Amino acid sequence: MSQELLTHTNGPVGYVTFNRPEVMNSVSPAYLMTVIEAVEKFEADDAVRAIVVTGNGRSFCSGGDRQFLNDLITMPPSEIRNKVYAGFLGLARALKTCSKPTIAAVNGPAVGAGCEFAVACDFRVVAANAFFCENWVELGIIPPLGGMFLLPRLIGLERASNMILRAQKVGAEEAKAIGLCSEVVPGEELLARAQALGEELAKKPRVALAIARQGLRRGMDGTLASEWDFNIQAQTMLFKDADFNEAVTAMVEKRKPAFK
């Protein structure tokens, strides 16, 4: 694995750690393919019974990196669909459909795709200084990785609307109150608590746990696959819109965007 992605095991728990702290653990499609590979390796390892995803430094994951966002402006739609979402949607799908329980240890801001990845996990254990933010609309685009489907089911339609339509941040304590996370702990206790949860899950009957996770998905995501397909199609169109171009340009120029 690249040094930008750290993996290790602690007993029955496998850890996948975003390690790009200098850019707030922002990600690109190529980088995410290495994350998917790490998740798949842990899924195939019989000794690993639960998987923890976390970030190194001050951020869990701040979404797409700036160079990648800038490249999207001129990227052909076919490349966006076939290459970009192989990484972005690929990781959300890997976390959601994995046969083993997944835990997001949210050590700091989970923004954009980072929020979507955390929401795709079975459990979220959150540091007290962390927050969630679906900031896609501020870029003139939408959350395409499952959040628009999953968030209303986790926290209710109006709260999800505040997050998605207003890009409203949700702090750790509010996240716990509304059901967006399981626990809030001091930052220095985060990984220990994620480890304890992973070990608790590791003691459960393996096959029953896997089938129960399938049942939970069936109970709520009968149309999640079609939702993913629709969102990618819509997002590909929005990447070609002038508002996305303006948002990325404004980000580079460190000013507020002037949407048309």
Share of the chain above pLDDT 70, in %: 97
Is the pLDDT at 1 greater than 70? The verdict is no
- Average pLDDT score over residue span 191-215: 91
- Residue 210 is predicted with a pLDDT of 87
pTM exceeds 0.85: yes
Task: For the chain, list the domains and their CATH numbers.
Answer: 5-188+203-207 (3.90.226.10)
Rg (CA), the chain: 17
- Average pLDDT score over residue span 190-195: 98
CA distance 189 to 29: 31
- Residue 159 is predicted with a pLDDT of 98
Instruction: Provide the pairing of β-strand 5-10 with 13-18.
Output: antiparallel
Is the pLDDT at 221 greater than 80? The verdict is no
Q: Are 181 and 106 in contact (CB under 8 A)?
A: yes
* Structure confidence by residue, pLDDT tens digits, 242-258: 888 888 999 899 999 88
